[in-house]
Amino acid sequence: MTDTISTLPAVIRDNLGLAINRMPTVTQYAPALQSCERVDGYTRLIPADACEAIVAEVRAILMTRARDRDATALAANLIGAYPGRDLADPGTYTRAIASVFSEFPVELGEAAVDTITRYLRFTPTRADVFGALSSLRGKLLWASTNVGRHLAEHTRRAEEAERRARIIKRGAA
């Protein structure tokens, strides 16, 4: 499905602002990944296999960068969302915005365009675009940090179960 305004596909976004179809496991566990609460013995954990899938999905996204043509398309979509704005030099402005998009994965760029056009009433600056992209990257990094906490708690619980089994085995002997 393609929307009529751009050549980029229309996608449904999760509450991290990312394309659902590209990160299904991250989307499924997004509330737990965004949580600021500590992970302890009372926490309902994300399954270990899902944690591994989340790490793989986040790594796959963060290891890429938008190609020049994708960055230019993102910049054009963003600029096109603000019609009637008089820019001193539209070509230079487009290249400047595209240069920021080229530093980040295209998935984050798509989400940033969506976020910026929802909340910013005026033509965005390079700093606005960089801020939106950095914020989205930070959300993904936070998600991967939380996954690490869940994996550490899985390990701790397994060791605790092992320790208890040894104690019970010694007591039964």
pLDDT in the model for residue 13: 53
Low-confidence ranges of the chain (pLDDT < 70): 1-21, 173
- Determine the Cα–Cα distance for residues 72 and 78; give it in Å rounded to an integer: 10
Q: Which pLDDT does position 90 carry in this prediction?
A: 87
* Predicted local distance difference test score (pLDDT) of residue 1: 39
**Which value, to the nearest 10 degrees, does the dihedral of the CA atoms of residues 137, 141, 143, 144 take?**
140
Cβ count near 101 (within 10 Å) = 28
| Cα–Cα distance for residue pair 36/82, rounded to 1 Å | 35
CA–CA separation, 55 vs 50, rounded Å?
9
Domain boundaries, the chain: 65-172
> What is the pLDDT at residue 33?
86
- The C-alpha atoms of residue 34 and residue 30 are separated, in whole angstroms, by 6
Number of H helices, E strands in the chain: 7, 0
Q: CA angle at residue 65 from 109 to 34, to 5 degrees?
A: 55
Buried b (16+ CB within 10 A) or exposed e, 103-135: bbbbbbbbbbbbbbeeebeeebeeebbbbbbee
